[in-house]
Amino acid sequence: MRPEQWETFKKAARREKLDKVPMALIIDSPWIPGYLGISHMDYYLDPELWFQSNLKVHKEYPDVIFVPSWWMEYGMAAEPSALGVKIKFYQDNTPNEYHTLSNIEDVENFPEHEVENDAFMALTLHRIRMQRQRILDTGEILPLVTSRGPLCTAGFVRGITEFMYDLVDKPEAAHTLISLCTNLIIDWLKAQQKAMGETVEGIFILDDIVGFINEEHYMEFAHPYLKKICDAFPEDWVKIYHNDAQITACLDHLPDCGFNVLNWGKQTDISEVKRRVGNRICLMGNVNPLEVGVRGTPEEVRRATLDVLEKSGGEGIILSVGGGTSPGMPRENILAMLGALNDYNAKR
């Protein structure tokens, strides 16, 4: 992400008036290796290939703001791996996580975490330090630190189904696990900030598991922990929340956590989201990422893009897909989104 792109993103996040609606895409290892025709293992383990892959994508789409910018990740492995989750790697896919907490009460016996030294967190931080100056030398910056959210991390540690039962059957133990994950995430984000340096001015939290629970459970098991994460960082930082599962139960409450950008899924139409929270949070979305972004024709992408833009009214929005960029989204469909956006902006 170039400095001027970050300035645009910050203004949009703060709902300042912009001459043009910007476009941003979340890109990481689910999309990049397939798009470039390289293996996931090489992307994770070959530092030069990782650097050149990100550089190529950034140069290919100079008008797209890529979030979080040069994302150093191993799929969703870093956060749960620090709490003992087994990670399984593949040549041509992102890693899988296998939960290891068979009895939730055993969370009381977990050792203290050390993000600088634990599992894939330690490797990620080392890779950030290796590449940081080289990234800055391209003229781009690293403005965002990133983490899976507390319920997502807890679900990987415990197992999603088991964790859902725990919320009902063993709420006290569930709170203990979520609290542990929350503290881990705050430490993890701060360690990334230290490794990346002074260009960091925001956090990016991804937690789809929040979309699996009702409003009552959201207020008890998610909201206080998401707010604690936001409160751990400066008030003027940009705080982005991603959840491409259901957001109906949490939608009205997310701005109160401290988030000022919401990236959400295809399930909830932008007109409904804007009606409920549009004047309290910047909306980053919401073109259907799979049925349209991957499987649609360029004309279908164009129509879907214009539909989102028109329903947004061109205010308080960063154009994106409804979630991360899905594996298989082709160049022609990204260009179709950009083309529709340019036409829309020209008419404003």
* Predicted confidence (pLDDT) per residue in 94-141, tens digit: 999 999 999 999 999 999 999 999 999 999 999 999 999 999 999 999
pLDDT at 300 (0 to 100): 98
Domains of the chain are 3-347 (3.20.20.210)
In the chain, the amino acid numbered 209 is I
Answer yes or no: is pLDDT of 77 > 90. Answer: yes
- Give the H or E element holding residue 46: none
Residue 278 predicted with pLDDT over 90 = no
This prediction has a pTM of 0.97
pLDDT tens digits along 207-226: 999 999 999 999 999 999 99
**What per-residue confidence (pLDDT) applies to 308?**
98
Task: List Cβ neighbours of 104 (8 Å cut-off, separation of 6 or more).
Answer: 158, 162, 166, 170, 173, 174, 177
Burial readout 248-263 (b: 16 or more C-beta within 10 A, e: otherwise):
ebbbebbbebbbbbbb
pLDDT tens track for 157-166: 999 999 999 9
The mean per-residue pLDDT over the stretch 35-43 comes to 98
The predicted structure's pLDDT at residue 62? 98
Q: Residue 348: its pLDDT value, please?
A: 82
Mean per-residue pLDDT over the chain, rounded: 97
C-alpha distances in Å from residue 176, one per residue of 81, 188, 312: 18, 18, 40
Share of the chain above pLDDT 90, in %: 99
Give the mean pLDDT of 26-36. Answer: 97
Dump pLDDT digits (tens) for 229-267.
Answer: 999 999 999 999 999 999 999 999 999 999 999 999 999
> What per-residue confidence (pLDDT) applies to 86?
96
Evaluate whether 325 touches 66 at the Cβ level (below 8 Å).
Answer: no
β-strand pairing of 86-88 with 96-98: antiparallel
